[in-house]
Amino acid sequence: MIKVNSGLIDKIKIDENFNASACFNCGTCSALCPVGFDILPRKLFRYVLLGDEEKILESTDQIFSCLLCRMCEEQCPHEVNITENIRLIRSYLAKSKLGV
Ligand code: SF4
Ligand code: SF4
């Protein structure tokens, strides 16, 4: 069963550039990612929108391993700010969970 944190999106969306909700889950980004992460970016954005904090925490290593190369972002058909979204999710994790 998913434990939903309904306030998660508001905690992450501290910047107006955060637009994970624009993602329509087409998979283009995942197919292009040179690192080949299963979670990034589309699944990650779903977890944020659903408030599934547990899944995000489980994926911390992958989230911090993204190269921020923007290869995915350049081909995203919905102009999702992928790298900025990932950066904000990292910031949330660093502050609230890792105590950085
Ligand atoms: S390419 Fe853009 S719209 Fe498609 S899954 Fe990735 S982030 Fe979402
Ligand atoms: S920014 Fe680069 S490494 Fe990160 S998810 Fe996109 S393609 Fe993969």
> Which residue among 29, 35, 45 is best mutated to probe the pocket of ligand 2, counting the most ligand atoms within 8 A of its Cβ?
35
> Which residue among 26, 48, 86 is best mutated to probe the pocket of ligand 1, counting the most ligand atoms within 8 A of its Cβ?
26
Ligand 2 pocket, residue 71 CB under 6 Å: yes
7: confidence class by pLDDT, cuts 50, 70, 90: confident
Ligand 1 pocket, residue 27 CB under 6 Å: yes
pLDDT at 4 over 90: no
pLDDT at 2 over 80: no
Give tens-digit pLDDT for 29-62.
988 999 887 777 889 999 999 999 999 999 999 9
Return the ligand 2 atom nearest residue 71 CA: 7
Calculate the average pLDDT of the chain. 89
Nearest by Cα to 88 from 55, 50, 45, 52: 45
Between CA 44 and CA 84, with CA 60 as vertex, the angle to 5 degrees is: 55
* Average pLDDT, integer, range 61-73: 94
pLDDT at 8: 85
